[in-house]
A and B are shown apart, each in its own frame.
Chain A
């Protein structure tokens, strides 16, 4: 199994790219580093989503439910009790996993569109909870946290890059491992997989928990990077869609494609900033075009071409 992973080409290309990325602070301005930092966290969101969708076949329409739980738990703990950042992040991860379990247990019993809908409803519920308890959470517009990972853009960049690489290695490794294959089988034909003796539900639940763990940690780290937690950054249907787009754009079922998609999406949004108000419109339009015309995504398309050769 290890041998197979080490032999995988995307992995080596990925590591090479990561190496180059680590050197970028030598050339790029602080602001651009900031954009890439945000993109890297987004990449983790997308990879976590792809594990669930690409491999377990479950469409999570509300990844920000898990991300938001991690983010706001960490933010509230820091704001109210001033706990150290690491503690807050771990707490965020735990809450996200618990939330994921609470969501997955009933949801995995459902078929068809119901699972997706339930995940969407979860996001709405969390949003409303945040708004209602605005005293603690800052409501719609958000809250500030007193601590940040670092003020220095380069340091923040490296934190994010290392985090991304570690997550990518783990998630990619999982996807190519025995567990990953079982997940893929469960996703594509659950009945067959069960017939072969695999406990599909248990494996899907595991995928959900892993997805929740990574989403929660990434959400918490994002908060300590920005210094704020707000609903429209971490618990928003728009963000959910962007995560799905990033994963689809990069290539479903490739894990690493999610990183490509995230970087592309965030850089594109930034590029369109001079449009002011309209940049969200344009990004949504472009994303729609991607869905309509290139649903396989960048990496998906490239891999397919590679296979044919």
Chain B
């Protein structure tokens, strides 16, 4: 009984982790940017979605959509206000660009977090479940919403896979991650590529944010933790490897769930962190990453 419970709960939380991590790693893989404002963008999507659904009276479904769009817009803002200016700045030597982008996005993330805390307090917001009520699967009582969230995550990941592997734009993205200069030689505009990847990233982060608000609830205080979590999973799986992030997300999600159920709720994050330490020492490029 407990085993089935763990299986189901672990699956739901892992799917949510996966969605967040996939966007993060895609961003790095294609454009070399480690966006440390990731958690902030998720929180923006969550809070705007909650606001739209409740205070603006749009209801759950429309509100969720508004939240996702807000996430996407926030991602654009991140690109145009922070990342692109740093990448193009003549005053920053080329080998230091990455560091400045990291620091810049970190600062931007802090700004987002503080702005939300100021406007909405750091109280967690929860959106109403997309589908309310519970169902019983082989004796395990599960909210409908939890099942829906897992399904949505996989649909989105599936769509992403289709995009990257079956469409022209998607294949160009993949090429850009391997050889940006080669791509320009073929006549592709790199700036269009970057716009595309930021759009995809924004939508992914937005969906992850609103789903999190619906499943567990989100507050501005979570922004840092969400970034840290996505980022640990991505390092574990291998920077730039989407399949690595998926595997790592489920590894971490299940490790956490098993610990919470079978050991103690207080020790929940430990096994995943220990795994991370181990991987850093033994295989720093991650489980499925390339050196």
In the complex formed, the residue of B with least CB distance to A276 is B118
Which B residues are CB-close (under 8 A) to A296? 91
The answer to whether the Cβ of B201 comes within 8 Å of any Cβ in the partner chain is no
In the complex formed, the residue of B with least CB distance to A280 is B114
Q: Is the CB of B104 within 8 A of A292?
A: yes
Contact pattern, A 219-252, Cβ under 8 Å of B = 1, otherwise 0: 0000000000000000001100100110010000
Known contacts: A280-B110, A281-B115, A288-B108. The answer to whether A121 contacts B280 by CB under 8 A is: yes
In the complex formed, the residue of B with least CB distance to A248 is B103
CA distance A292 to B232 in the complex (A): 28
Q: Is the CB of A292 within 8 A of B269?
A: no
CA distance A280 to B269 in the complex (A): 28
CA distance A114 to B114 in the complex (A): 28
CA distance A295 to B93 in the complex (A): 10
CA distance A70 to B177 in the complex (A): 41
Chain B interface residue count, Cβ-Cβ cutoff 8 angstroms? 39
Contact pattern, B 250-291, Cβ under 8 Å of A = 1, otherwise 0: 000000000000000011011001001100110011000000
Q: Is the CB of A277 within 8 A of B114?
A: yes
Kindly provide the distance from the CB of A158 to the nearest chain B CB, expressed in whole angstroms: 33
CA distance A291 to B231 in the complex (A): 23
Choose from B103, B108, B118 the contact partner of A244 (Cβ within 8 Å): B103
Q: Is the CB of A285 within 8 A of B111?
A: yes
Choose from B114, B266, B269 the contact partner of A281 (Cβ within 8 Å): B114
The answer to whether the Cβ of A194 comes within 8 Å of any Cβ in the partner chain is no
The answer to whether the Cβ of B68 comes within 8 Å of any Cβ in the partner chain is no
Q: Is the CB of A291 within 8 A of B107?
A: yes
CA distance A124 to B270 in the complex (A): 11
The answer to whether the Cβ of B117 comes within 8 Å of any Cβ in the partner chain is yes
Known contacts: A125-B277, A245-B103, A292-B104. The answer to whether A106 contacts B284 by CB under 8 A is: yes
Known contacts: A128-B269, A245-B103, A295-B92. The answer to whether A114 contacts B285 by CB under 8 A is: yes
Q: Is the CB of A277 within 8 A of B98?
A: no
Known contacts: A280-B114, A291-B107. The answer to whether A61 contacts B281 by CB under 8 A is: no
Q: Is the CB of B85 within 8 A of A292?
A: yes
CA distance A116 to B231 in the complex (A): 12
Choose from A120, A245, A248, A294 the contact partner of B231 (Cβ within 8 Å): A120
Known contacts: A106-B280, A121-B276, A128-B273. The answer to whether A281 contacts B118 by CB under 8 A is: yes
Which A residues are CB-close (under 8 A) to B224? 237
Q: Is the CB of A284 within 8 A of B284?
A: no
Known contacts: A121-B276, A288-B111. The answer to whether A116 contacts B266 by CB under 8 A is: no
Which B residues are CB-close (under 8 A) to A241? 103, 106-107, 110
Kindly provide the distance from the CB of A205 to the nearest chain B CB, expressed in whole angstroms: 16
Kindly provide the distance from the CB of A53 to the nearest chain B CB, expressed in whole angstroms: 8
Which B residues are CB-close (under 8 A) to A61? 102
The answer to whether the Cβ of A22 comes within 8 Å of any Cβ in the partner chain is no
CA distance A143 to B82 in the complex (A): 37
Which A residues are CB-close (under 8 A) to B115? 281
CA distance A114 to B239 in the complex (A): 9
6 closest pairs, A vs B, by CB?
A: A281-B114, A284-B110, A288-B107, A284-B111, A284-B107, A59-B99
Using CB atoms and an 8 Å cutoff, list the residues of chain B in contact with chain A: 34, 82, 85-86, 89, 91-92, 98-100, 102-104, 106-108, 110-111, 114-115, 117-118, 224, 228, 231-232, 235, 239, 266-267, 269-270, 273, 276-277, 280-281, 284-285
29 pairs from A and B in contact (CB 8 Å cutoff): A59-B99, A61-B102, A110-B284, A113-B34, A114-B284, A116-B98, A117-B239, A121-B276, A124-B232, A125-B273, A128-B269, A132-B266, A132-B267, A132-B270, A241-B103, A241-B107, A244-B103, A245-B103, A277-B114, A280-B110, A281-B111, A281-B115, A281-B118, A284-B107, A284-B111, A288-B82, A291-B86, A294-B91, A295-B91
